[in-house]
């Protein structure tokens, strides 16, 4: 069961994501060169936030997470200055597996054989749905 999402929570998550993404770009740590902040899931009371990140090269993800964890106090301080909330959330960083899952699914779909109608190019698909209706009208005798 997923957590309910409220407009204020979505706005706070989006603002945290924007601030962190900008600050991660400013960091000089070589482990964070190609890190992208893909999402944030803050608790309703804003005491904790899970920050989802992706990297250009999957093999660099463990080092990137270590770099982000090391930079967490600085990122939290910047976040505290930029957003006006009662609490500045403790940051926890996790790898965003959505991109990997998408690539895996795409590879599976590419490996599937095409159906005969798709392989030879079906005439009904090329003509569109309107022509299918016209064919039905002529066969009905109307």
- CATH numbers and ranges of domains, the chain: 1-98 (3.30.300.20), 105-142 (no CATH)
- CA Rg value for the chain: 24
pLDDT interval class at 14 (50, 70, 90): very high
Instruction: Tell me if 49 sits within 8 A of 92, measured CB to CB.
Output: yes
- 65-107: per-residue pLDDT in tens? 999 999 999 999 999 999 888 899 999 999 998 877 888 898 8
- Top-confidence range, 32-36, 83-87, 116-120: 32-36
- Tokens for 84? 């006006």
């Amino acid at each position: 069961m997923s957590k309910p999402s409220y407009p204020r929570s979505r706005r706070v998550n989006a603002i945290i994501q924007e601030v962190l993404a900008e600050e991660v770009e400013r960091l000089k740590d070589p482990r964070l060169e190609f890190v992208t902040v893909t999402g944030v899931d803050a608790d309703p009371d804003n005491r904790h936030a899970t920050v989802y990140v992706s990297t250009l090269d999957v093999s660099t993800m463990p080092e990137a997470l270590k770099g982000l964890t090391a930079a967490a106090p600085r990122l939290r301080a910047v976040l505290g200055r930029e957003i006006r909330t009662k609490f500045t959330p403790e940051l926890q960083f996790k790898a965003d597996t959505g991109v990997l899952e998408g690539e895996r699914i795409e590879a599976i779909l590419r490996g599937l054989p095409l159906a005969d109608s798709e392989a030879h190019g079906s005439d009904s698909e090329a003509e569109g749905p309107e022509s299918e209706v016209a064919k039905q009208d002529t066969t009905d005798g109307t």
